[in-house]
Structure 1
Amino acid sequence: MYTPFKNRLALLSLFALLCLPVSLSAQLLGAAASDAKETVQEVPKDSLGRDNPRSTVDGFLNAMGDQNYNRASQYLTLRRSVRRSSQKKKVVQAFQRLLDTGGDFYASSLLSNKATGRTDDDLEPNTDQVGKITVGEDEINLYVENTAGEGKPPVWRFTQETVDDVTSINIKSDLLIDKVLPASMRERRLWGVPVGHWLAVIAIGILSYLVAWGLISLLGTILSKFWKKEKREKATAIIQAFEQPVRLYLAVRLFVAVSLQVGISIIVRQKFNTIIFTATIFAFLILLWRLTDYLSIYTQQRMTLRKRLSAISVILFLRRMAKIVIVVIGVIAVLSAVGFDVTTWLAALGIGGIALALGAQKTVENFVGSVTLIADQPIRVGDFCKVGEIKGTVESIGMRSTRLRTPERTIVTIPNGLFSSNNIENYAHRDKFFFNPVLEFRMETTPAQLRYLLVEIRTMFYSHPKVSNEPAKVRFGGLTASGYKIEINAYIEAPNIDTAEEVEEDLYLRILDIVAASGTDFAYPSQTLYMARDKGIDEDKTRLAAEKVQHWVDTDDLQLPAFDPERIEALKDKIQYPPKGSISAKEE
C-alpha cells in the first residue's frame, strides 16, 4: 500500500518519542545499580589483625617474639611525642621486660574474640582487661580498647594509660634466668625466645611435679596417722580420692609461681597458659571422678549392710550417669580452653537433650519411679503387697520395672513409673491383723440367746492370748432381712499372715462352739425353704441359755453393755492356745 511521505515522517517521529523514555530509564537504572554496588562493598579488615582483644594480644606477642618492635608498637596507643622508631622500641622493650618480670596475660580462651569485646564485665564498652603486671608493690592492670571511630572496623590497642603505667616503672636488675643461663643459650633463639627459656620451662615443670608429689605423699601419710585404726581404711580411700587431683593442681601452681619468679619470657608462658588452664580443668575433673567412685562404693557398702540390695543397681546407674556428665563437661571445657567456640555445640547439645528427653520420657519416668521406690521403700523384695488390683510377692525391683509373683504363681511385670504412682498396700509389715466377721442369727433367736452370745464371745476374745489387749468390740448390729446381726472388731497379734490365719481359724471354731452352746443357729438366706428335716431351735439349750442369762441378771453379773475391767483382767490368757490336743500344744 502506498504511504505518502508526510505520513511516513509522522510515524518515524512517533516511534522515536516512544523509544526515548525507555533508553533514559535504562540508563538511570544502570546508574542506580552501580551506586548500590559501591555501597555494598565490604570495608577491608585491619591488616595487623587487631579485630578483637584476643588477636591484639596474640599479635603483640608474636611481634615481640620476632623482635619486630616497630610492628609491636602499633598494638599500643602511644603519645604523639613518641614518633621515632628508637622511642617505640624502647617502650615495647620496657613492656616486654615488665611482662617477663611479673606480668601475665589471661589464657587465650578467656580473652574475647569478638569485635565488641566482652560485654558482661563491669568495664566501659569497647574496653577489656587482658592481664596484669605485679612488680613489688606495684600492680598494673592491662587494658585494651577499640580505638576506631564509630562506623569503622574495630582496631584494638593497649590503652594509653596502660602504656604510661608500664613506662613509669624502671627495672634495673637482670632477670634470674638471664644470670643463670650461659650466653649460648641466651643468644640462640627458638620462636623468638632464647632456647634456655624453653629448656628451663621443661625443667621447672618436672621439678614442680616432683615437689608436689613429695608434699602430697607426706601430707597423706601424716593425715592417715591421725585417724583411728578402725577408720584407717575409710581415711585411706578419702586420701586416695584427693591425692592425684590435688597433686596435679599443686604442680601447676608451683610451675606458674616459679616460672614467674625466675623471669621466663612472657611469650613462653603465654604459650603454656593453655596447657596450664587445661591441666587445672583435668585436676578438677579427676577429683569429681574419684569422688564419684568413692561415694558410690561407700553407699553400696551401707546399702549392703542394711540389706537394701535393690538400691545397688540404682547407685551403679547413677555413677555411670555422673561419669558421663563429667566426661561431657570435661570435653566442652577442654575444647573451650584450647580456643574452640563451643557455643554452637552447646546449643546443639541442648536441642539434642530435649529431643532425647522427649523420646525417652517413659524411660526417665520409670527410672525416677525406681529411685522413689528405693528411697521411700514402700516395698522390699519378699513383701506381699497389693498394687492397684494386683496382689503378689515382690521378687525383684529393677531399674525399669518391678516383678510380682501372684498367688496363682504367675509373674506380673509393672513399670516403676506406674508402680510408684499407684496406691501400694503392703501386707508384709503389719503388726496386727484385723479380724472383722459379721455374724447373722436366725429370727427365732431370743433376746436372752443374743445376750448369751455377746457375753460369751467377748469372754472368749478377752481370754485369748493372741487377741490384742485393746478391748475387742462385739456388738449387736441390728436386724437384717435374714435375722439378727452381731459385728466383731478385733486385732490378732501375729508375726506373719500364716500365723494370723491359724489364730483366725481357732477363733472361728470357738465361735461355732459358743453358738452351738447358745441353742440358736446362723441365719439362712431369706430365700431358703425350711425342710422337714430342719431340727429348728433346741428347746433345752434355749432354756439353759435363758436360765444362765437370768442368773447373771439376778446376781448383777450381766456383762452388758460393757464388761467390768476387773473381769477383763481376770479373763486374760485363760484360753489355752494352741488348743489342747493339737500338735502345736504338744510341742510347747
Structure 2
Amino acid sequence: MDIVQAYLQISPDPSIWLVQVFLVVLATVSCNFLLMRLIDLAEKIVARTESIWDDALLEAARIPVRLTVWLLGISIAATLLKQVGPNAFLDLLPELRRVVFIFIGALFLTRLISHLEVNLLDPARVSKPMDQTTAKAVAKLLRLSVIITAVLVALQTLGYSVSGVLAFGGIGGVAVGFASKDLLSNFFGGLMLYLDKPFKVGDWIRSPDRAIEGTVEDIGWRLTRIRTFDKRPLYIPNSMFASIVVENPSRMTNRRISENLGIRYEDGERMAPICSAIRQMLREHPEIDQAQTQIVHFTSYGQSHLEFMVYCLTRTTEWVKYHAVKEDVLLRIMAIVREHGAEFAYPTQTLHLASLPGREASGGPEAAGVQSGMPPR
C-alpha cells in the first residue's frame, strides 16, 4: 500500500477523489471478472487430465482468488480515502488486511482438502477409491489443523503472544477436561471408530444390547448418525460404542436359509427320496454357495408330522435378492414333495372310540350313531 501512496495522489476535491475511488472499484470488478473467466477456461483444459490435483486446485482457488482481488481493491480505495482525512478505522487497516489474508489462505487450504477428499472417493477419478470413513477422518483432522494454525498465526499478527495462549491452554486444560468429560469421551470414541473401523459409512449395523439398527450415514467426532429402516435419523454419542456390542451384517459373507418342514406320517416311506431330491436340487442351484454347509435330513417325530430340516447359505448378501432366492428354493421344495406323492402336514388329531360290550351286537341307535360318525343322542 506504500506504493499506492507514492504513485497515486488524491485530490481534496470530492468530485475528483470520488471518481478515483470509483475507478479503483471498477478495476477491481473487471479483474475479478477476468480471473473467473480464466479459471473457467483452465477448468475446461484440466478436465481432460486424470490428475486429482489440478481441478481440485482450481475449484479451491475460485473463492479465495475472488476475495483476494476484492481485498486488494478495497485496501487501495481505503488508502486513497485515508489521504482525504484521518480516520481511526483506516489506521487499523494494515493489521486487519494481514488477518484477512491469513484466513483467505486457510479458506483455500480447507477447500483444497475437501475437494481432494471428494476426488479420492470418486471411482471415476481413481482406480482404487479410498475408504470413505478413513478419507473423512483424515480430511477432518487436516482441516482442524489448518484452522488452529490460522487462528494462532492471526493472534500472533495482532500482537498476542502465542506462547502465552498455549501456556494458558495447558494450565486450563485440566479444568476444561473435567468440565467437558463427556465431550472428550465422545471425541476419543470417534477416534477409536476411525482406527478400529468396526463399521464405515454406508454399512448396516445393529446392536443386540440397544434398540439400534440402521444404515450409517456419518461418523463425526462427537456423534454418529444412523438412518433407521423407517427413515428416521438416529444420533448416537460415540462413547456408547465402547460399551455395547455392535453387529455389522453388511460384512456377512453369505445369508442363511434354515427351515424346519414336516410331511404326514402316512408319507413316511417317501421321506428318504424327498430329502435326497432336495439335496440334489441344492447342489445344482446356481445361487446356493456350494462351499458352505448344506443339511437336508429327517430330524424328528412331531405330534402331527415327520419333520426334516433344510439348511444352506446363499451366495448373495443383498437383502432383496436373498428373499428372491429363498422363495425359489422353497417353491422347488414344494414341487419335490408333490412330485413324490406326499403332502405337507398340518396339525390334526385322530380320535379312536372303543365300542362298549353288547352295543355292537344289539345294533341299537347309539352304536349306529358312532359308526356313522354322528354324535350319540
Could you say which residue in structure 1 is the equivalent of 2:227? 405
In the alignment, the residues of structure 1 paired with residue 241 and residue 169 of structure 2 have an alpha-carbon distance, to the nearest angstrom, of 32
CA deviation string 1:420-447 (max 9, x = no partner): 654333333444221111223444442x
SS of residue paired to 1:379:
coil
SS of residue paired to 1:428:
helix
1:387 partnered with 2:207: yes
In the alignment, the residues of structure 1 paired with residue 51 and residue 328 of structure 2 have an alpha-carbon distance, to the nearest angstrom, of 54
Matches within 5 A, 1:533-548: none
Matches within 5 A, 1:182-193: none
In the alignment, the residues of structure 2 paired with residue 423 and residue 397 of structure 1 have an alpha-carbon distance, to the nearest angstrom, of 17
Cα offset, 1:508, TM superposition: 0.6
SS of residue paired to 1:515:
helix
| 8 Å contact from structure 1 (residues 432, 493) kept in 2 | yes
Cα 1:517–1:365 shift into 2, 3 Å: same
Cα offset, 1:396, TM superposition: 3.4
In the alignment, the residues of structure 1 paired with residue 170 and residue 145 of structure 2 have an alpha-carbon distance, to the nearest angstrom, of 18
Matches within 5 A, 1:248-267: none
Matches within 5 A, 1:458-469: 458-469=279-290
Cα offset, 1:492, TM superposition: 1.3
Residue identity matched to 1:359: A
1:512 partnered with 2:334: yes
In the alignment, the residues of structure 2 paired with residue 231 and residue 395 of structure 1 have an alpha-carbon distance, to the nearest angstrom, of 28
Residue identity matched to 2:290: N
Could you say which residue in structure 1 is the equivalent of 2:120? 302
Cα 1:359–1:317 shift into 2, 3 Å: farther
In the alignment, the residues of structure 2 paired with residue 300 and residue 376 of structure 1 have an alpha-carbon distance, to the nearest angstrom, of 23
| 8 Å contact from structure 1 (residues 373, 420) kept in 2 | no
| 8 Å contact from structure 1 (residues 474, 487) kept in 2 | yes
| 8 Å contact from structure 2 (residues 53, 116) kept in 1 | no
| 8 Å contact from structure 1 (residues 300, 315) kept in 2 | no
Could you say which residue in structure 2 is the equivalent of 1:477? 299
In the alignment, the residues of structure 1 paired with residue 177 and residue 277 of structure 2 have an alpha-carbon distance, to the nearest angstrom, of 66
1:503 to 325, 334, 355: 325
Structure 2 unaligned segments of length 5 or more: list them: 1-48, 58-105, 352-377
SS of residue paired to 1:468:
coil
Cα 1:380–1:331 shift into 2, 3 Å: closer
CA deviation string 1:330-350 (max 9, x = no partner): 79999xxx9x9x79x777533
In the alignment, the residues of structure 1 paired with residue 185 and residue 118 of structure 2 have an alpha-carbon distance, to the nearest angstrom, of 24
CA deviation string 1:220-252 (max 9, x = no partner): xxxxxxxxx999979xx9xxxxxxxxxxxxxxx
CA deviation string 1:426-485 (max 9, x = no partner): 333444221111223444442x22212211111111121221223622122233455433
Cα offset, 1:374, TM superposition: 4.0
| 8 Å contact from structure 2 (residues 255, 317) kept in 1 | no
Could you say which residue in structure 1 is the equivalent of 2:239? 417
CA deviation string 1:11-56 (max 9, x = no partner): xxxxxxxxxxxxxxxxxxxxxxxxxxxxxxxxxxxxxxxxxxxxxx
1:314 to 137, 145, 163: 137
Structure 1 unaligned segments of length 5 or more: list them: 1-228, 238-288, 532-588
Could you say which residue in structure 2 is the equivalent of 1:261? none
SS of residue paired to 1:413:
strand
In the alignment, the residues of structure 2 paired with residue 355 and residue 303 of structure 1 have an alpha-carbon distance, to the nearest angstrom, of 40
Residue identity matched to 1:352: G
How many pairs align? 249
Could you say which residue in structure 2 is the equivalent of 1:366? 186
In the alignment, the residues of structure 2 paired with residue 230 and residue 427 of structure 1 have an alpha-carbon distance, to the nearest angstrom, of 36
SS of residue paired to 1:409:
coil
Cα offset, 1:505, TM superposition: 0.1
User: Could you say which structure has the larger radius of gyration?
Assistant: 1
In the alignment, the residues of structure 1 paired with residue 286 and residue 114 of structure 2 have an alpha-carbon distance, to the nearest angstrom, of 48
In the alignment, the residues of structure 1 paired with residue 232 and residue 304 of structure 2 have an alpha-carbon distance, to the nearest angstrom, of 40
Cα offset, 1:509, TM superposition: 0.9
SS of residue paired to 1:504:
helix
Cα 1:357–1:467 shift into 2, 3 Å: same
Cα 1:463–1:422 shift into 2, 3 Å: same
Could you say which residue in structure 2 is the equivalent of 1:353? 173
Residue identity matched to 2:335: D
| 8 Å contact from structure 1 (residues 303, 311) kept in 2 | no
Residue identity matched to 2:283: Y
In the alignment, the residues of structure 2 paired with residue 320 and residue 314 of structure 1 have an alpha-carbon distance, to the nearest angstrom, of 10
Cα offset, 1:511, TM superposition: 1.0
Could you say which residue in structure 2 is the equivalent of 1:437? 259
In the alignment, the residues of structure 2 paired with residue 497 and residue 363 of structure 1 have an alpha-carbon distance, to the nearest angstrom, of 37
Cα 1:495–1:436 shift into 2, 3 Å: closer
In the alignment, the residues of structure 2 paired with residue 481 and residue 328 of structure 1 have an alpha-carbon distance, to the nearest angstrom, of 78
In the alignment, the residues of structure 1 paired with residue 328 and residue 236 of structure 2 have an alpha-carbon distance, to the nearest angstrom, of 37
CA deviation string 1:394-418 (max 9, x = no partner): 3333343233333333332222332
| 8 Å contact from structure 1 (residues 313, 399) kept in 2 | no
Cα 1:474–1:350 shift into 2, 3 Å: same
| 8 Å contact from structure 2 (residues 52, 119) kept in 1 | no
SS of residue paired to 1:425:
coil
In the alignment, the residues of structure 2 paired with residue 392 and residue 359 of structure 1 have an alpha-carbon distance, to the nearest angstrom, of 32
In the alignment, the residues of structure 1 paired with residue 201 and residue 142 of structure 2 have an alpha-carbon distance, to the nearest angstrom, of 23
Cα 1:332–1:350 shift into 2, 3 Å: farther
In the alignment, the residues of structure 1 paired with residue 311 and residue 260 of structure 2 have an alpha-carbon distance, to the nearest angstrom, of 9
What's the Cα RMSD here? 4.6
In the alignment, the residues of structure 1 paired with residue 215 and residue 134 of structure 2 have an alpha-carbon distance, to the nearest angstrom, of 18
1:487 partnered with 2:301: no
